[in-house]
Structure 1
Amino acid sequence: MKTFTRLTLSGAVAASFAILPSVASAQSTMAYPEKCKSQGMDMSKADMPSGGMPMGDMTDYQKASMDGMKVMHMNMMQGMMKKDADVSFVCGMIAHHMGAISMSEVELKYGDNEEAKQMAQKVIEAQKKEIEEMSKWVDKEAK
């Protein structure tokens, strides 16, 4: 009976995601604004620690989460280096929101709990809208 319930629930989950908008990676669908990037900062060489846990010992879920966190932190550091406090704040928030989307995408891919997946989908929708608004502001206000 447990297997039947799980299969039925899996089918329901698959059906519910068929009607939701496609969820591609935040990094592939939403680019961090050029005006938020700091000149002369090569963040590709920055190494973020993995909390003392060797990457090889991590689950696929943990690796995906860590990858998203690395991108978020690199972008946040770049945004926070802006000389204008307002631009720095908004750029940092864009990166932070992109991190929330990345975390939510990991939940959708690896999570089992329907309620948690619904929360993740709501986060994605809300954060994408806010990123669009903040990116327009950066385009208009950042020098």
Structure 2
Amino acid sequence: MKRTGWISVIAVFLAVAAFAFGILSRRGAPDASAPPPVEARAIDGHAGHEGAPSDTPSTRAYREAADRMHQTMNIDYSGDADIDFLRGMIAHHEGAIAMARIAVEEGEADDVRGLAQEIIRAQEAEILRMRIMLARHEDAPAVSERP
């Protein structure tokens, strides 16, 4: 085939491919006149689950740990990004430790229990480091008070 023959074949192939792509991609497109999908889940992830008879002891313990963590993460903000970060992260890490302890006590899989133990050790060390940093930053004069 001559050079113009191959170019014509390639051009026709690209045109057919583009047309086919357009047709196939519209098949999955939602109907514009269809009503929007409805979210079936409750807004509150815990809604209807408190004290459910089917909750296992570990599920109840995880729920309690998560609730405690969210309560303690609801800090009084100081306006200092560093202090607020440290306070929030300490509470977050304490929640992670509480959940990891449940996994160690209630879990059966050795690899998950091992990971939970690693998390406990690492997060306890990070909490200690953050408490030291927090004490240092809380004792420092505010940025606006520095000379």
What TM-score does the superposition give when structure 2 sets the normalisation length? 0.60
Residue-by-residue CA offset, 1:41-87 (whole Å, 9 max, x unaligned): xxxxxxx97343131422111110111111111111115x2321111
Percent identical pairs in the alignment equals: 31
What CA distance in whole angstroms lies between the structure 2 residues aligned with 1:82 and 1:51?
32
| Separation in 2, partners of 1:132, 1:116 | 24
In the alignment, does 2:81 pair up with 1:63? no
Q: CA RMSD in A?
A: 1.8
Which structure has the greater CA radius of gyration? 2
Q: Which moved more, 1:96-105 or 1:56-65?
A: 56-65
The one-letter code sitting in structure 2 at the alignment partner of 1:65 is Y
Query: Does 1 or 2 have the higher relative contact order (CA < 8 Å, sep 6+)?
Result: 1
- Give aligned pairs, total: 95
Which whole-Å CA distance do the structure 2 matches of 1:82 and 1:49 have between them?
A: 29
Structure 2 unaligned spans of 5+:
1-43, 140-147
- Relative to its length, the structure with more helix (as a share) is 1
Alignment-derived partner of residue 122 in structure 1? 118
Moved segments of 4+, more than 2 Å: 48-52
- Secondary structure of the residue aligned to 1:92 is helix
Name structure 1 gaps, 5 residues minimum.
1-47
Q: How does 1:50-129 map to 2 (within 5 A)?
A: 50-57=46-53, 58-78=55-75, 81-129=77-125
Q: Deviations over 1:20-53 (max 9, x none)?
A: xxxxxxxxxxxxxxxxxxxxxxxxxxxx973431
Q: 1:54 to 1:73 in 2, by over 3 A?
A: closer
Distance across 2 between alignment mates of 1:64 and 1:99: 12
| TM value normalised by structure 1 | 0.61
SS across alignment from 2:78 = coil
